[in-house]
Structure 1
Amino acid sequence: MKYFAFALGIGFLLDMLFGDPCRLPHPVCLIGGLISFLEKKIRNFFPDTKGDQMAGGVLLVFLVLGVSTGIPFLLLYLAGMVHPYLRLAIESFMCYQLLAARSLKKESMKVYRQLKKGDLERSRKAVGRIVGRDTEKLSEEGVIKAAVETIAENTSDGVIAPMLYMAFGGAVLGYFYKAVNTMDSMIAYKNEKYLYFGRAAAWLDDICNYIPARISAFLMMLSSVFLKMDWRNAWMVFWRDRHNHASPNSAQTESVCAGALDIQLAGDAWYFGVLHKKKTIGDAKRPAAVEDIRRANRLMYMTSVLGLLFFMGCSLLLYRVIFKLG
């Protein structure tokens, strides 16, 4: 287990320094390709009825999780047979690929730069790369809010949650989480095509993110103290608005971020041409400003550092306890 903590630490440093390795196939892309392939095959075998769609979705979840965790496990097992340090090196690289702090900042800052140039059309396209909603008609403030929301939500989904799973289960458990998260982003829509087929994936994602989302929220509140943001308001908004979302997890960090920045997030949004009525998160003490994207990124980075220290410490402590008991 001590190798899990070291691999996580090395992977985090690599992500901070280099971000996603652009010339190598990314795990999310590979898992996404597997999901698309299996979905086509499974839909050919299951009739288009409610029960059969749910059964097909369950089968997809099991197959994707089996492949996504089985291959990393086999690679690490074989590497460990050669030498423990080879396994550590490979596991560190896997952890590096599973973390998304640097890429989250990179993509959100593309939105920031286009807004600073005054190019609303390009900023809409840039934010469309990192959010699931329709962005063609967003106002400047709408673009800013969308970017801040995805930074806040992905602080948990893209950084803290993978850290938790890797700290206690290594890269294999990290791949398990990443597969769950990718399925949720691809097939867990509440539309006619995926309402039943994606239900198992959505349910599993809610379960896997339940604890990480809440840890992320408290780490983010602590980060707002260090960064001298409005931590009192972050605390208040968190307890009031943390359930103002269809997902039981998404509003946890969004509420903290909205409170810390003194802005209002969420509200009605368009998805695939359909308006979805949504509750707001936070209070509009002031309009959202372009610089809030930078502030949200600072909050995300500080939360990531605190998360790394917390999870590495917990992992090493658990190792010592198990070692003594053994």
Structure 2
Amino acid sequence: MTVTKGQSRAIGLLAGVALDAAFGDPRRGHPVAAFGRTAAYLERKVHADSRARGAAYTAVLVGGAGALGLAAERLAARSPWARAACTAAATWAVLGGTSLGREGRSMARHLECGDVEAGRARLAHLCARDPAGLGAPELARATVESVAENTSDAAIAPLFWGAVAGVPGLLAYRAINTLDAMVGYRSPRYANFGWASARLDDAANWLPARLTGVLTVACAPFAGGRPREAWRMLVRDGGAHPSPNAGRCEAPFAGALGVRLGGANAYHGQVERRPEMGDGRAPGVGDVRRAVRLSGAVTSAAAVVCAALAWWTRRTPPRREGAG
């Protein structure tokens, strides 16, 4: 049986998803953490209040990650099963869906037990929102919003770019997303230096966020919701968020869960008011586990869709005899 490049890629993506589901992120020696340390070291050396300097910083790190992925694919090129194994290892390294679910369930346990202080301490593992003074309802909303948005960032976007561009796509996307988390904030230090990282992250997530929205609509019954309502919120409220991508994930989650997301959020001492999405009630503690369940269903659906995309778009036609 001849295994094409696309089939190897599809097998590797599914195997990587299975590895992430079984083991989650490694506790030590995580390659993304190693990349983050490298990026932090380089930032200390080259930082300046300059968009050009920040763009060069981003290009070097993202280009380096993509080049590493290309080299890995070439080393495995002789065997379809080596290619699949290489893709599986890279997919496992960059996926964060299982860890996202664990953090969501951890927050749910704290809130179900009434331990708001523990919930506040845990919020930093999910988002950059200031936890001081947040009660259980605000923590529940923050968690649901973070799970919705990060379903795309942590799972669907890596799978999409893995299907389209293989191991280089997997590694380059994770580099882009990590840099956005590190320097993409609108703070005095990163307003110019982090501009390129933030804009590149917006571009890299544009299609995956919309795929996440559509799959959330399809998977709404896994959270006890209705696809029609999730679709209505996606169409009506998906563009209301100031981010070009986050609303495409959060709005259908709001519709699927029957809740209302958005409102006032505090980041680094400043309060930002986000448009509300959804017509339902405010999220409650019980909605956190429903959001995690919906996120898992969307990730599983995306794995199938992206594997199919890789399988059918990377078929190599048989070489004709005598072809030069």
State the shift of 1:227 in Å: 4.9
Contact 1:114 1:122 (8 Å CA) reproduced: yes
Is 2:67 the counterpart of 1:70? yes
Contact 1:258 1:281 (8 Å CA) reproduced: yes
Contact 2:223 2:257 (8 Å CA) reproduced: no
State the shift of 1:57 in Å: 0.6
Quick one: distance in 1 between partners of 2:133 and 2:54?
33
State the shift of 1:286 in Å: 2.5
Secondary structure of the residue aligned to 2:314 is helix
Greater shift, 61-70 or 251-260, is seen at 61-70
Match of 1:30 in 2: 34
Structure 1 segment 136-155 matched on structure 2, within 5 A: 136-155=132-151
Match of 2:96 in 1: 100
Q: Residues 235 and 86 from structure 1, CA distance in 2 versus in 1: closer, same or farther, beyond 3 angstroms?
A: closer
| 1:204-259 deviation digits (Å, cap 9, x = unpaired) | 11111111100110011000145541322212211111122221000101000011
Match of 1:162 in 2: 158
Matched pairs, number: 315
Match of 2:58 in 1: 61
Match of 2:3 in 1: none
Secondary structure of the residue aligned to 2:282 is coil
Gaps of 5+ in 1: none
Quick one: distance in 1 between partners of 2:275 and 2:319?
49
One-letter amino acid of the counterpart of residue 149, structure 2: E
Quick one: distance in 2 between partners of 1:26 and 1:226?
31
| 1:121-164 deviation digits (Å, cap 9, x = unpaired) | 10111122211110111111100011111110011111111111
Quick one: distance in 1 between partners of 2:304 and 2:214?
14
One-letter amino acid of the counterpart of residue 154, structure 2: G
State the shift of 1:313 in Å: 1.2
Superposition CA RMSD, Å: 1.8
Structure 1 segment 81-96 matched on structure 2, within 5 A: 83-96=79-92
Contact 2:238 2:248 (8 Å CA) reproduced: yes
Match of 2:17 in 1: 12
Greater relative CO (CA pairs within 8 A, separation 6+): 2
Q: TM-score, normalised by structure 1?
A: 0.92
Give aligned-pair identity as a percent: 33
Q: Residues 258 and 325 from structure 1, CA distance in 2 versus in 1: closer, same or farther, beyond 3 angstroms?
A: farther
Q: Which structure 1 residue ranges, 4+ long, deviate > 3 Å from structure 2?
A: 225-228
| 1:159-206 deviation digits (Å, cap 9, x = unpaired) | 111111111221221111111111111111112111111111111111
